[in-house]
């Protein structure tokens, strides 16, 4: 279903570097910031440290899971509670065409969640995503919005990326939707995009393989599907992890110039299978994870500069917390999905008190290293550094405030851009006054 608001927005906000007040052209280049790093190439954490970090995140964040250790079944009470976490709100007023949402439509969605089909004990099935999927709060592609001029679909939660392990917890009444658990989110996805495995081992042998590539570019496209008889995912996004084929006829023929990908698919019987595809070694991908250095964090962030803001990753972009999470995925770091959960996750924490002055807040920022996440209510930003007494950040945001005569008006951005911490929000308050905390993602 095409969102007419999204088409309009894409025309209004082309993908390029956006210059906000107080930003010079030189600040739009990652090398400007990496040249100022004290030890930009030094490892922040090695692979052992990152494994420990992820274990601590799973322990502290109740939205992040080790799916391999997830329970084998859910009780009726547990599963019902998960599905009922999604509720209709007063921000769900109009549909894709700007018409008022009707009660019978909402009632049909509740019916399709198939609550009456939940048993006393519900065995979990294992599977993998074969393409990028929208994760929805309810089993429907239809959108709902706060107003006719809004493009924030309130049914959209996040995305399930290709080649992810998923747990199938429940199925909709019409059988077209699965209620799934990924490593950091639950929600409804279209069943056609999930291949159910015959056994748990197949999924986690793939996920735990030490022979893989990570997509380090914003988006990359595979070069060739060796077996053309199935639909397959063509475009991969930053942070996507794809298992490799390390031997065999295709590997022997192509491995000098290509990585031979092992992509999940649905077999003719409807179960999880795999196929070989190729992606050129010259593309923006790496074998294994990127080294976790300050320089690499900044480089990854600037690859997303100018990309459109995309609420819940509904289309090809990201929102503010996915901007952060996808960058850190390239290092093998697992973060919660939403900004509020990222703020309370594992790491070195710095707190801001609402009574603090700008000068006092600047002193807290002085303690941060580039790459730290800075949080305000409902938003997350990445810290870049300090120039001439002013702190700067890069983030994926909708707008800033500009004073016209005696009031502030919102200036649309809806993209990833570099800003100072003194830039004002639409109400006229500087961003720095809205900060609640900052987190360095390290042990």
Please say which residue of 240, 271, 287 terminates a domain: 287
The answer on 175 and 90 residing in a single domain is yes
What is the pLDDT, as a whole number, of residue 227?
Answer: 60
| Domain, as residue range, for 256 | 209-287
Q: Indicate whether 212 pLDDT > 80.
A: yes
Q: What is residue 9's predicted lDDT score, i.e. its pLDDT?
A: 33
Domain boundary among 172, 206, 240: 206
What is the spatial distance between Cα 224 and Cα 209, in angstroms, rounded to a whole number?
Answer: 22
Considering the domain architecture, whether residues 55 and 135 belong to the same structural domain is answered as no
Residue 1, pLDDT > 50, answer no
* 248 and 123 in a common domain: no
Does the pLDDT at position 121 exceed 70? yes
Residues in a beta bridge with 309 = 318
Rounded to an integer, the average pLDDT of 307-335 is 96
For residues 336 and 434, state if they share a domain.
yes
Could you read off the pLDDT of 292-317 as tens digits, one per residue?
999 999 999 999 999 999 999 999 89
Query: What are the E-state strand segments in 64-151?
Result: 73-75, 121-123, 125-129, 133-136
CA-to-CA distance for 285 and 267, rounded, in angstroms? Answer: 28
Question: What average pLDDT score do residues 166-187 get?
Answer: 98
260/87 Cα distance (integer angstroms): 43
Task: Assign 232 a pLDDT band (cuts: 50, 70, 90).
Answer: low
CATH number at residue 221: 2.30.30
| Helix H or strand E encompassing 365 | helix 358-365
Residues 75 and 150 occupy one common structural domain = yes
- Section 218-244 average pLDDT: 83
The better pLDDT of the pair 159, 13 is held by 159
Domain count of the chain?
3
Give me the chain's average pLDDT, please. Answer: 93
Instruction: Give the residue-averaged pLDDT of 193-199.
Output: 97
| Position 2 pLDDT exceeds 50 | no
Q: Given the structure tokens 């707190």, which residue do they identify? A: 351
Same domain, 75 and 201: yes
Average pLDDT of 352-374?
Answer: 97
Which stretches does DSSP call E strand in 72-155?
73-75, 121-123, 125-129, 133-136
Q: What is the CATH number of the domain that holds 192?
A: 2.30.30.40
**Alpha carbons 79 and 412: distance in angstroms, whole number:** 40
pLDDT at 116 over 90: yes
Q: Is the domain of 170 the same as that of 220?
A: no
Q: Does 389 lie in the same domain as 371?
A: yes
Which tokens sit at 187? 């929600």
Do 233 and 272 have their domain in common? yes
Q: What is the pLDDT of residue 224?
A: 75
Q: Are residues 112 and 168 in the same domain?
A: yes
Residues 352 and 380 occupy one common structural domain: yes
Average pLDDT over residues 252-273: 94
pLDDT at 233: 76
Closest residue by Cα to residue 90 from 153, 145, 157: 145
Identify any residues that bridge with 438 across adjacent strands, giving them in sequence order.
350, 374
Last-in-domain residue among 237, 272, 287: 287
Q: What pLDDT score does 231 carry?
A: 61
pLDDT digits (tens, 9 = 90+) for 56-104: 999 999 999 999 999 999 999 999 999 999 999 999 999 999 999 999 9
pLDDT of residue 16 exceeding 90: no
- Give yes or no: residues 199 and 218 share one domain: no
Q: Is the pLDDT of residue 221 over 80?
A: yes
| pLDDT classification of 234: cutoffs 50, 70, 90 | confident
């Amino acid at each position: 279903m095409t969102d007419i608001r999204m088409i309009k927005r894409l025309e209004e906000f082309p993908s390029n570097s956006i210059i906000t007040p107080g930003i010079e052209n030189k600040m739009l280049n990652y090398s400007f910031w990496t040249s100022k790093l004290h030890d930009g190439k030094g490892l922040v954490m090695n692979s052992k440290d990152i494994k420990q970090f992820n274990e601590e995140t799973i322990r502290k964040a109740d939205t992040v899971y080790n799916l391999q250790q997830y329970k084998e079944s859910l009780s009726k009470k547990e599963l019902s509670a998960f599905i009922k976490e999604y509720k209709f709100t007063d921000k769900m007023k109009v549909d894709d065409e700007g018409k008022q949402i009707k009660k019978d439509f909402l009632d049909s969605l509740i019916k399709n969640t198939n609550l009456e089909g939940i048993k006393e004990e519900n065995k979990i099935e294992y599977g993998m995503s074969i393409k990028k999927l929208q994760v929805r709060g309810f089993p429907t592609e239809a959108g709902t919005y706060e107003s006719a001029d809004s493009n924030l679909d309130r049914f959209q939660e996040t995305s399930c990326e290709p080649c992810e392990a998923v747990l199938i917890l429940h199925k909709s009444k019409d059988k077209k939707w699965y209620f799934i658990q990924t490593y950091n989110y639950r929600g409804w996805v279209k069943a056609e995009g999930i291949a159910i495995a015959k056994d748990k081992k197949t999924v986690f042998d793939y996920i735990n393989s030490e022979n893989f590539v990570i997509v380090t570019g914003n988006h990359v496209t595979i070069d060739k599907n060796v077996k053309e008889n199935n639909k397959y995912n063509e475009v991969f996004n930053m942070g996507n992890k794809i298992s490799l084929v390390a031997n065999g006829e295709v590997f022997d023929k192509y491995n000098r110039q290509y990585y031979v990908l092992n992509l999940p698919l649905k077999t003719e019987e409807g179960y999880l299978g795999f196929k070989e595809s190729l992606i050129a070694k010259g593309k923006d991908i790496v074998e294994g994870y990127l080294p976790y250095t300050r320089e690499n964090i900044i480089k990854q962030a600037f690859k997303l500069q100018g990309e459109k803001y995309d609420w819940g990753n509904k289309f090809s972009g990201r929102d503010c917390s996915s901007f952060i999470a996808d960058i850190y995925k390239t290092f093998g770091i697992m973060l919660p999905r939403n900004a509020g959960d990222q703020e309370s996750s594992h790491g070195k924490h710095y707190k801001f008190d609402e009574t603090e002055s700008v000068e006092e807040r600047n002193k807290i920022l002085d303690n941060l290293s580039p790459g730290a996440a800075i949080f305000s209510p409902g938003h997350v930003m990445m810290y870049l550094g300090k120039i001439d007494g002013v702190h700067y950040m890069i983030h994926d945001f909708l707008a800033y405030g500009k004073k016209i005569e005696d009031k502030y008006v919102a200036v649309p951005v809806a993209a990833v851009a570099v800003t100072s911490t003194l830039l004002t929000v639409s109400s006229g308050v500087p961003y720095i006054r809205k900060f609640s905390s900052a987190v360095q993602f390290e042990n």
